[in-house]
Amino acid sequence: MVTAIDRKIVLITRQTRLDELIARFNTLQQARFYIEHLGADFADYLAEQRTYREAIAATEAHLLTVGRVQRVDRRYLGNFIFAEDDLVVVLGQDGLVANTLKYLDGQRVVAVNPDRTRWDGVLLPFVPDDLPRIVPEALAGRRPIRSVTMARASLNTGLVLDAVNDLFIGPRSHVSARYTLQVAAAQERQSSSGIIVSTGLGSTGWLKSLFAGWSGAAASFGVPVPDGIDAPLPWDAGALRFFVREPFPSRTTGASLVFGSVSAGETMIVVSEMAENGVIFSDGMETDSLEFNAGTQATISVAPRQGLLVV
């Protein structure tokens, strides 16, 4: 019989800004010179790192009292194999939670805010000192769970990419993406700066900024905007929303199929016409991407799995 103390707890952490600067410039002194030469406050970088390291130490100490702990840096998430009954504790910003959920399949996540003076933490309901109470309850299955719908891009090359917040489909650089977009019976050849496909969780992020620009432009021309069109979706909504950025109408490309929804069981098809530099990435992570060049077909749908957040 497997008891709580036998369960593995996987602690997900990330590098701080200062860690990344030291990796870039080799030493703390050179990192300091670079930041101060630009007129920025290096003390803020030191304070952030100190607070985060203290949060890691406190979190590990709490977790070790209730189970075996394995610490994994975000850089290695793509290669880490999670066991089915692992409890995952994420210590960092909201983006780290989203990035972690993509690599899980049924494992529950306890999201911890390392510094409430710095991070609002929409996805971070706990602090390290909550863990002695929360983790035993989570291991015993006594904590409520909030489901998070994800989006999936499946390519005809066999590759698959999931997103917790949103998918971007378009060009790597500031050029126009060319593709054919099909949603249900509607189909249109388009040239744009890319398509955003948002989940319910992501509907308060990138998608919201697109709505803000669109509604602001409409208002300046006296065009009424339907009430509630930019209202966020629930995190567990069984649908995705898509928005085409800056579509260019021409003799061969249209701009009528620019916004809509993809419900569970439905798909959106995008066929690339880009000779090179086409890409699909998720949750703002361009390093976590799929090539999307000419002839590649992406089928966009609600992902069959959901993220599970302990609340």
* Interval 108-123: pLDDT, tens: 999 999 999 999 888 9
Measured distance CA(21)–CA(95) in Å, rounded: 19
Residues 53 and 122 reside in one and the same domain: yes
Can you give the CATH number for the domain in which 48 is found?
Answer: 3.40.50
- Contact criterion met (CB below 8 Å) for 48 and 17: yes
**Domain assignment of residue 92, yes or no:** yes
The model carries a pTM of 0.87
pLDDT digits (tens, 9 = 90+) for 192-240: 999 999 999 999 889 999 988 988 888 898 888 877 777 889 999 999 9
Residues 52 and 36 reside in one and the same domain: yes
Residues 94 and 221 reside in one and the same domain: no
pLDDT digits (tens, 9 = 90+) for 248-285: 999 999 999 999 999 999 999 999 999 999 999 999 88
pLDDT band at 1 (very low <50, low <70, confident <90, very high): very low
Residues counted in the chain: 311
**Domain assignment of residue 22, yes or no:** yes
| Residue among 192, 145, 206, 182 nearest 260 (CA) | 182
- Contact criterion met (CB below 8 Å) for 98 and 282: no
Residues 245 and 221 reside in one and the same domain: yes
What is the domain range of residue 217?
A: 149-303
pLDDT digits (tens, 9 = 90+) for 8-61: 999 999 999 999 999 999 999 999 999 999 999 999 999 999 999 999 999 999
Residues 131 and 155 reside in one and the same domain: no
**Domain assignment of residue 202, yes or no:** yes
Maximum CA pair distance of the chain?
Answer: 68
Helices assigned H by DSSP within the chain: 17-25, 28-37, 42-64, 94-101, 131-139, 206-220
Can you give the CATH number for the domain in which 226 is found?
Answer: 2.60.200.30
194: β partners: 245
Q: How many domains, in total, are found in the chain?
A: 2
- The residue out of 94, 123, 143 marking a domain boundary is 143
Is the model's pLDDT at 5 over the cut of 80? no
Residues 131 and 158 reside in one and the same domain: no
Measured distance CA(288)–CA(160) in Å, rounded: 11
**Domain assignment of residue 54, yes or no:** yes
pLDDT digits (tens, 9 = 90+) for 282-301: 998 887 789 999 999 999 99
Q: Which residues contact 3 (CB under 8 A, 6 or more apart)?
A: none
pLDDT at 226: 79
pLDDT at 214: 87
**Domain assignment of residue 63, yes or no:** yes
Residues 103 and 238 reside in one and the same domain: no
Collapsed DSSP state (helix, strand, coil) of residue 178? strand
42: β partners: none
Residues 26 and 123 reside in one and the same domain: yes
- The residue out of 115, 143, 171 marking a domain boundary is 143
**Domain assignment of residue 180, yes or no:** yes
Is the model's pLDDT at 68 over the cut of 80? yes
**Domain assignment of residue 170, yes or no:** yes
Measured distance CA(181)–CA(277) in Å, rounded: 18
pLDDT band at 2 (very low <50, low <70, confident <90, very high): very low
**Domain assignment of residue 309, yes or no:** no
pLDDT digits (tens, 9 = 90+) for 134-188: 999 999 999 999 999 999 999 999 999 999 999 999 999 888 999 999 999 999 9
Residues 157 and 295 reside in one and the same domain: yes
Cβ neighbours, 10 Å, residue 181: 24
- The residue out of 128, 143, 158 marking a domain boundary is 143
Residues 163 and 277 reside in one and the same domain: yes
At residue 51, what are phi and psi to the nearest 5 degrees? -65, -40
Residues 106 and 158 reside in one and the same domain: no
pLDDT at 4: 52
Residues 176 and 279 reside in one and the same domain: yes
